[in-house]
A and B are shown apart, each in its own frame.
Chain A
Amino acid sequence: GAVVSQHPSWVICKSGTSVKIECRSLDFQATTMFWYRQFPKQSLMLMATSNEGSKATYEQGVEKDKFLINHASLTLSTLTVTSAHPEDSSFYICSAGPIGQGENSPLHFGNGTRLTVT
């Protein structure tokens, strides 16, 4: 149980284009999903908290107009990297915890999306 599906697994795009990444909870509902970014040999950095039916909460230093988050349903959150640049190349991972398990339950991660901007 508690499976999180993330798509695509990898994407290569040209500089200036936009890329959408989907994160789905397959067998549970999640009012909150989290988006992380990980550069090589570094840890996961929380970018934003995606809240179903309301605006996302962004961490300090993360541009909300560049990283658009939409959480339209209890099972789907999307992250759109707008006008991508080579410095946006990274590993993006979403995570969620099932409703009802409480805040102390561990995060369940998607398999991540490796974005390469050329």
Chain B
Amino acid sequence: GQNIDQPTEMTATEGAIVQINCTYQTSGFNGLFWYQQHAGEAPTFLSYNVLDGLEEKGRFSSFLSRSKGYSYLLLKELQMKDSASYLCAVQIYTGGFKTIFGAGTRLFVKA
């Protein structure tokens, strides 16, 4: 079966750095996405990794190790508005492409 695991909740301080981990066991792996979702809203795209390594995008970076089935999202210089859920999502190919999501990590940024 397909399985994606990430911590349920995390708390961090404004201005700090936080790392949100994600492990996955899937078949037909075709790439990993990170999305941000505020309560009651649709997810918004943050980053994409298909090759091993680090992808940096402003305050956000994402890392992938396909051999370990592991990814993390790194948020720097945390701001209060970063309080949201962060969803790890894996795109798979099983006769067609589809994206499956982890349960999400709720991040609370405190002053």
Contact = CB atoms under 8 A, between A and B. Distances in A.
Do the two chains bind?
yes
Given A49-B96, A104-B91, A44 B30 contact: no
B38 to A, nearest CB: 11
Contacts of A106: 33, 35, 45, 48
A111 B41 contact: yes
Q: How large is the interface on B (under 10, 10 to 19, 20 to 34, 35 or more residues)?
A: 20 to 34
Contacts, number: 56
A65 interface: no
Q: How large is the interface on A (under 10, 10 to 19, 20 to 34, 35 or more residues)?
A: 20 to 34
Interface of B is mostly: strand
A32 B91 CA distance: 14
Interface of A is mostly: strand
B33 A43 contact: no
Given A43-B104, A46-B98, A112 B42 contact: yes
B108 interface: no
B54 interface: no
A43 B87 CA distance: 8
B84 interface: no
Nearest to B45: A106
B60 interface: no
Contacts of A67: none
A22 to B, nearest CB: 15
Nearest to A42: B103
A87 to B, nearest CB: 20
Contact of B42 (A42, A45, A49, A111): A111
Interface in A66-112: 91, 93, 95, 103-104, 106-112
Contact of B97 (A103, A110, A112): A103
